Amino acid sequence: MNSFLANWYRSTFGYAAVSAVMLWAALPPLGLWPLAWIAPVWWVVLIRRKELSGRRPYAALWAVGFLFWLAVLHWLRLPHPATSIGWVALSFYFAFYLPLFVGLSRVAVHQLHVPVILAAPIVWCGLELARAHVLTGMTMACLGHTQYRWIELIQIADLAGPYGVGFVVMFIAACLARTVALGATGVSPVLQQKHGQDARGTRWAIWPTAPAAVLLAATLLYGYVRINVADTATDTKPPVRVALIQGSIDTQLKADPNMKTRIYEHYRALSEKAIERYGPVDLVVWPETMFRQTLITCEANALKPAAYKNWTPEQFQRALEEFALQSQHEMGELARALGAQLLLGVDNHHFGPDGMQMFNAAAMVRSDGKLSGCYRKNHLVMFGEYVPFAKSFAWLQKLTPLPVSIDAGRRPASFQLDGLRIAPNICYESVLSHFVRRQINTLRADGKEPDVLVNLTNDGWFWGSSELDLHLICGVFRAVECRKPFLIAANTGFSAWIDGDGRILSQGPRRNTGAILAEVRPNRRGSWHLRHGDLFSGVCLAACMLFGAVGILCRVRR
């Protein structure tokens, strides 16, 4: 039995599984973040081996990756039984990144003779960037995300995004793995040969600890400097007071018509209590879709639907404009009652020259009750908000529990709020670093660069699971990357006030009600990452492509 366990442990699957379990433990819900620094060591040892053991080692790596992502993304099965299909499908796709990581790194090390302490972090960083873009992108559970509470370390995100933090963690793990003597495992020479261990790895090495110490020290030094700059860069004007309202209403795909009134009364009562507790505020924020009265907006040349064929265009337009005003009445009355501006997550039906469109939106309402603007979500969640090609093939929609596919907005938006500008984003838009950066740069080009970012999200689909933690961590990194305060209003949690250094100054409860008062000021520090984007990780991704081409060429020659 001991021999069997020893052989299993030293197999490709065994080594890969050890790293996967440790990395899973470093992420929420356990959050044992120090494990992240040693979790990749067994993967790097596999990279160093002359040959991988087993008949199908890359299939074994894929299997480990599949099990890892099933565990990390388990919350995708909670909204509805049908979403389990998406959980399995996404895990199936993400599973390919582990064999890609090991395979590309092995090409770099064994074919191109790149030191493993460089090959592993370069490939890891490049593949994380790829994961942020392929199939609309998803960056939850990045390696660097495990370190979100080490504020000094994550400051380099304003240079290279979350991928740069992951690069540092993987570099140090690779250095630790490089110190290990591959043959010094107490295994017989026969097994050493079987597992691809050669004489070059039979002695422990001390030198890799030096570059690891240098990089960690440089990273922390940069972090300390950037944090100290914050004291002189922050605006000294009185802060803007923002109340982030967190209700706790679990969400289901099946609609309950009686919930509309209950949700409104629930959130209005929480808003009134927040103002009673904190005093007058400048802005009250409700989470995504928590204002259940549909907002109707229209243009002067709205297309008349076929159902109104007996109406003249003038009659239809007048009725539409009146209906739009009526739809804004309730939110206007709420703003006047609270004596504050509102930013409300709302469903928006817009009538324009192309007909009616449905949006997931954030409506800005002045304290006098007038609608001052509307942001329509730009980046939609596949199978969560739309079904691909359902506009052309309606029968595809009927195959899913999603009742209708909504439309994507085309532009970012920023709203004036007492001397500063705020820019909303909705739900998983905050998960994508490049998306938030692109929105800010677009607004800057229009002369409307925001001072504060606000995320409206409804995480009630996930019943208080670790999804809440993973989503919150993305907000921490967006704050550091853009050097702007990041506010979150989340149904069921986690609402949060995050400063431009990534500190969580206040956080709502898990799956419970609460209200956060955020007092925000504009921060004048610049961000290299905001200006230049994913240059560093882009170079790493280009290196991955080079390693892949070399690997394919070598295999063809054989």
Residue 234: the pLDDT is 55
The whole-number average pLDDT for the span 1-29 is 87
Domain boundaries, the chain: 2-232+535-557, 235-522
Q: Is the pLDDT of residue 516 over 80?
A: yes
Q: How many CA atoms lie within 13 A of 558 on its CB side?
A: 6
What span, in angstroms and rounded, lies between the C-alpha atoms of 106 and 378?
39
Q: What is the pLDDT of residues 167-222, one digit of tens each?
A: 999 999 999 999 988 754 433 344 444 444 443 455 788 999 999 999 999 999 99
The whole-number average pLDDT for the span 351-369 is 94
Question: Strand 341-352 and strand 291-298: pairing?
Answer: parallel
Residue 509: the pLDDT is 97
* Confidence band, pLDDT 50/70/90 cuts, at residue 313: confident
Dihedrals φ, ψ of 556, to 5°?
-65, -40
Residue 397: the pLDDT is 79
Question: With the CA atoms of 128, 130, 133 and 139 taken in that order, what torsion angle do they form, in degrees rounded to the nearest 10?
Answer: -10
What span, in angstroms and rounded, lies between the C-alpha atoms of 218 and 151?
14
Say which residue the tokens 């060591």 belong to: 41
b/e code 362-391 from CB counts within 10 Å (16+ = b): bbbbbbebebeebbbbbbbbebebbbeebe
Q: Is the pLDDT of residue 393 over 50?
A: yes
Q: Is the pLDDT of residue 312 over 70?
A: yes
Q: Is the pLDDT of residue 441 over 60?
A: yes
What span, in angstroms and rounded, lies between the C-alpha atoms of 225 and 245?
34
Tokens at 554, concatenated: 């070598």
Dihedrals φ, ψ of 420, to 5°?
-135, 170
Q: How many CA atoms lie within 13 A of 27 on its CB side?
A: 28
**Measured in whole angstroms, how far is the alpha carbon of residue 527 from the centre of its chain?**
19
Tokens at 157, concatenated: 């995100």
What span, in angstroms and rounded, lies between the C-alpha atoms of 236 and 416?
18
The whole-number average pLDDT for the span 371-391 is 89
What span, in angstroms and rounded, lies between the C-alpha atoms of 413 and 429?
14
| Percent of the chain whose predicted confidence (pLDDT) is above 90 | 77
Tokens at 396, concatenated: 């595809």
* Confidence band, pLDDT 50/70/90 cuts, at residue 236: low
The whole-number average pLDDT for the span 91-104 is 98
What span, in angstroms and rounded, lies between the C-alpha atoms of 281 and 243?
7
* Confidence band, pLDDT 50/70/90 cuts, at residue 507: very high
Do the Cβ atoms of 364 and 372 come closer than 8 Å?
yes
Average pLDDT of the chain to the nearest whole number: 91
**pTM (predicted TM-score):** 0.93
Q: Is the pLDDT of residue 136 over 80?
A: yes
Instruction: Using only the alpha carbons of the chain, give its radius of gyration.
Output: 26
- Alpha helices by DSSP H, 390-484: 394-398, 433-445, 467-482
Q: What is the pLDDT of residues 220-230, one digit of tens each?
A: 999 999 998 75
Say which residue the tokens 């582990």 belong to: 98
What span, in angstroms and rounded, lies between the C-alpha atoms of 456 and 509?
16
Q: Is the pLDDT of residue 305 over 90?
A: no
Tokens at 231, concatenated: 């004291």
Lowest-confidence segment of 269-283, 295-309, 533-547 by average pLDDT: 295-309
Question: With the CA atoms of 212, 216, 222 and 228 taken in that order, what torsion angle do they form, in degrees rounded to the nearest 10?
Answer: -160
Tokens at 113, concatenated: 């003779």
What span, in angstroms and rounded, lies between the C-alpha atoms of 450 and 28?
31
Share of the chain residues as helix, strand and coil, in percent rounded to the nearest 5: 50, 15, 35
Query: Domain 235-522 has what CATH class?
Result: alpha beta
Q: Which positions ≥6 away from 349 have C-beta within 8 Å?
A: 294, 295, 296, 297, 356, 357, 358, 359
Do the Cβ atoms of 197 and 53 come closer than 8 Å?
no
Q: Is the pLDDT of residue 266 over 60?
A: yes
Q: Which positions ≥6 away from 512 have C-beta within 8 Å?
A: 246, 248, 492, 493
